[in-house]
Amino acid sequence: MATLRLGDKAPDFTADTTQGRLNFYDYLGDGWGILFSHPSDFTPVCTTELGTAAKFKDEFDKRNTKMMALSVDDVESHHNWIKDINETQNTTINFPIIGDEDRTVSNLYDMIHPNEDSTFTVRSVFIIAPDKSIKLILTYPASTGRNFYELLRVLDSLQLTAYHKVATPANWKNGEKVVVSPSIPTEEAKELFKEGGVEEVKPYLRFTADPFAATQV
């Protein structure tokens, strides 16, 4: 199939997981979702990643976001590996891991890159909005573990900009100033962002307070 792109509808699927047989859309419900793959069970980087993901679950819950992981190992292997993850990472795995032996989901989401490895999945990340559109695609090589703080940061940006006419600048963190959308004239922006104010650096570069933070003051 063609490579998935931002804005595409996330393919639905039903698969066996460590929490039973699940339909992806049903599992996400009307919330946000993160689907991420790891190359293989019982490997060092993946062990740290899944342990970290479990520790971050409360933060994702606050953002109405569910996680689901995947590798091409079977569910029984996942269950055995989870014991190691829980022990070595001092946590409890609290999200489903897909057993994708036949590569059905991996191929659906183009997670196997033959020039990298013809058998195992790369470290793919998909953030999916409530309307099931794909809002973020990240691809890491097998040798590089993901930064879950960055995934939270991006999720905060996506959720903010989904509901307000703003964008987030480089290195932005939740609560910091944001950029007014270029499509909004300055006078309109001043009316729209009364609480946060509008700082015009250039006609195309205008800052305002984080709308979420401004409404909570």
Q: How far is CA 131 from CA 20, 54, 200, in A?
A: 24, 25, 34
Angle at Cα 19 formed by Cα 103 and Cα 123, nearest 5°?
40
* Sign of torsion over alpha carbons 58, 213, 138, 130: positive
| Residue 190 C-beta-side C-alpha neighbours within 13 Å | 5
Residues 53, 148 contacting (CB under 8 angstroms): yes
How far is it, in rounded angstroms, from Cα 206 to Cα 177?
10
Three-state DSSP class for 21?
strand
What does each C-alpha distance from 155 to 105, 108, 140, 211 come to in angstroms? 23, 23, 18, 15
Q: At 142, is the secondary structure helix, strand, or coil?
A: coil
Q: Which of 46, 68, 85, 111 is catalytic?
A: 46
46 counts as catalytic: yes
Paired tokens of 204 = 């195309």
Q: Strand pairing of 32-37 and 65-71?
A: parallel
Please give the positions annotated as active site.
Answer: 46
